[in-house]
Structure 1
Amino acid sequence: MFLSLSTDTLRPRDAYDFWRETVFYDFEADTPSPVQRDGFQARASALIAPRGDVYWYQSDPVSGRRRQNHCRREERGLVNLGLVLAGERCHEQDGDRALRSGPGELLFYDPAHPSRVAWGPHQGLHLSLDRDAVCQALGGDPPPPSELIQTLHHSPLFPFLHDQLRLLAHHGATLDIKHQSLILDQIIDLALATLNTIGRRPEKERPTLLFALARQLIHRHLGDPDLDASTLAQRLSCSRATLYRAFADQDLTVAGYLREVRLRRVWRLLRGAPAHQTIADIAARCGFVDSTSFSRLFRRRFGMRPRDLRQQHRLR
């Protein structure tokens, strides 16, 4: 799914509030200056894909604080890794030192922690990655941004990741959605592999190749309602018992992981899907064919009905 937003068609005095409420909503934006109030301009594009999202953006100065009450449960599912293309970004996560990032430098943002961010006039790109996948690659929760970015520079895969992000930033918008999705999937694999090289977990405890391949198959074929342990084992040329052990080594079950990933994808799609797409259609795209069962699972997992989530984001 490809989305675009811009302040171009808005009255100048409405632009900053629109951007604050629509794009910067997870921060408490600072009071706008007279210049921001009378002439703020910004635009952004996003590709929403099964395993992660990518965002391109260009904006006048904007700043704000993410407080503890902003660190809602639903925001803990994603972390952002990206690149400053132009301008400067200042970011300070609570408990970490302040970071200033200029053109060509990495940015990392973990919504699970309060922080403050201040962008000057800027352009940027970032990936939104599944938090569980990032934690799996690192062998634990992400370290503070200053530590993670510094350590990433020592990874043998860092130059490749940096170049791929730069290429995506400069040429990604010119591709059709099919090729964008293909490139994004490969960059997500590269980002997770790069994080894995700096992970804190001993080699013998890292995910097995079988688990990694099974996880990749699940994300790529999540919309198939017949996807289950038997199908995965057949495609991976292993027994179901072997597959079960690979997931058990990660303290997971095949069915539980499949259900969780499906529910999270529905959650993300519901937050950005156009009004004409029904909840049943979105659920079916994620492999849920029984609406009653899906609604029950969704409410049990997130504490609200799917339609409540959609209504909540329409009101923003």
Structure 2
Amino acid sequence: MTYPTLNERLKGSAGYQLWESTLAEQCGAFHPEPPLNEGIESFEGTIMPAQMTIPGYAGAKIGTNCPHIHRDIKDIKRDGHDFFYLVHQVAGNSTMVHCENQSTLNPGDLVLLDSSRPSDFYFSGMSEQISLVIPRHRIEVKGKGQKLKLNNKINATSRTGVVAGLITHQFFERSDEDKELEALMDALISLIRPSVASSENAPLSYSAKVQQTYFEKALHYIDARLANFELNPDMIAGELGTSKRTLQRIFAQQGLSIGRYILDRRLDRCASEFESETDIQKISAVAFAWGFNDVSHFSRAFKTRFGVSPRCFRSKGNPHGEH
């Protein structure tokens, strides 16, 4: 596909179709609504894909006069993407409605959004944004008592906002140095993480302490038995001496589902093994070793979580590929 450049202003229905398809390819499925006054023929927009060669990452610099762009449950299910968007407002203003929060972005502001949750973008006149796609595992907060603050504005005038904004523009400059781009992305993620992670330090009630104890025991039990493909919520609840419903409620209070947590932990272990292994094993052998009994399901789940296939992920550190 031949992509437009940022200087190429796309107009009318033909321009809208190219703009929308490029947006979908780079950032996932969205529903842009053309200006209401003259419909699709009054559309104007610009879009330029990021110069990303890092597996799992993507993005675009997007300009549009569309007043409303949204992503709903059907879009999420259709494209199957599971990552975070880091949105940097470059010009104009926008209002984000996401995760029951609303934020208004002025030029230079940034915000983190979750692709697996619905989003509504509202614009007034022409607006330009940078949207970077970042694999979920790079952003997720692992610390105890911490949760992500989604749709929480990083102000343009803050030190983090100033530096993060400068870095986002670097992904649209041509570079043949993969290591340089990867270092920039590592720096950007490290920079924004304190701004998107919240610590919950309020004293816990007795009931909350009991639930936290159950939760930590469940995590320990799961990690110790990831290789067992029969591991399931009933087994975990039985070991902890509680009901499956209670266990599901405890995980839900942490913003997790048991099945999803087990899947993600298995995928993380496989990815870690692909990165550190010295004796190259078949991808199927690694999958089976960590509790998967269906290689096709494993491959689809791995690509959803990390943005690339297991083969591509591993070949990054193994130039000889599959054996």
Task: Summarize the Cα distance change of 1:137–1:102 in structure 2 as closer, same or farther, 3 Å threshold.
Answer: farther
Deviations 1:256-306 (A, max 9, x none): 79x889933797347xxxxxxxxx97476356615xxxxxxxxxxxxxxxx
| Letter aligned with residue 86 of structure 2 | L
Scaled by the length of structure 1, the TM-score of the pair is 0.55
Equivalent residue, structure 1, for 2:15: 15
Mapped partners of 1:171, 1:267: distance in 2 = 22
Deviations 1:153-179 (A, max 9, x none): 6xxxx9453233222244443351413
CA contact (8 A) 2:64 2:128 kept: no
What is the percentage of aligned positions where both structures have the same residue? Answer: 13
Task: Summarize the Cα distance change of 1:168–1:125 in structure 2 as closer, same or farther, 3 Å threshold.
Answer: same
Structure 1 SS opposite 2:183: helix
Alignment of 1:54-93 (within 5 A): 55-62=59-66, 63-72=68-77, 75=80, 77-93=82-98
Task: Summarize the Cα distance change of 1:93–1:170 in structure 2 as closer, same or farther, 3 Å threshold.
Answer: closer
Task: Summarize the Cα distance change of 1:159–1:260 in structure 2 as closer, same or farther, 3 Å threshold.
Answer: farther
Q: List gaps (5 residues or longer) in structure 1.
A: 206-214, 229-253, 271-279, 291-316
Task: Summarize the Cα distance change of 1:89–1:165 in structure 2 as closer, same or farther, 3 Å threshold.
Answer: same
| Letter aligned with residue 289 of structure 1 | E
Structure 1 SS opposite 2:186: helix
Equivalent residue, structure 1, for 2:135: 130
The structure with the larger Rg is: 2
Q: List gaps (5 residues or longer) in structure 2.
A: 203-215, 217-267, 282-288, 293-297
Q: Select between 25-34 and 99-108 the one with higher mean Cα deviation.
A: 25-34
Equivalent residue, structure 2, for 1:165: 164
Structure 1 residue 255 displacement after superposition: 5.5
Equivalent residue, structure 1, for 2:185: 184
Equivalent residue, structure 1, for 2:111: 107
Structure 1 residue 101 displacement after superposition: 0.7
| Letter aligned with residue 46 of structure 2 | A
Equivalent residue, structure 1, for 2:41: 37
Equivalent residue, structure 2, for 1:285: 315
Mapped partners of 1:77, 1:22: distance in 2 = 18
Equivalent residue, structure 2, for 1:244: none
Mapped partners of 1:222, 1:20: distance in 2 = 36
| Letter aligned with residue 23 of structure 1 | L
Alignment of 1:166-315 (within 5 A): 166-174=165-173, 176-178=175-177, 179-196=180-197, 198-200=198-200, 222=275, 226=279, 263-264=302-303, 268-269=307-308, 282=312, 285=315, 289=322
> Where is the helix percentage greater, Structure 1 or Structure 2?
1
Equivalent residue, structure 2, for 1:251: none
Task: Summarize the Cα distance change of 1:186–1:141 in structure 2 as closer, same or farther, 3 Å threshold.
Answer: same
The runs of at least 4 consecutive aligned structure 1 residues that moved more than 6 Å come to 218-221, 259-262
Equivalent residue, structure 2, for 1:53: 57
Mapped partners of 1:101, 1:11: distance in 2 = 25
Structure 1 SS opposite 2:117: coil
CA contact (8 A) 1:54 1:128 kept: yes
Task: Summarize the Cα distance change of 1:31–1:87 in structure 2 as closer, same or farther, 3 Å threshold.
Answer: closer
Deviations 1:52-84 (A, max 9, x none): 535341412222222222222864520112321
RMSD over equivalenced CA pairs, Å: 4.7
Mapped partners of 1:201, 1:48: distance in 2 = 38
Mapped partners of 1:199, 1:75: distance in 2 = 30
| Letter aligned with residue 30 of structure 1 | E
Structure 1 residue 180 displacement after superposition: 2.6
Mapped partners of 1:162, 1:58: distance in 2 = 19
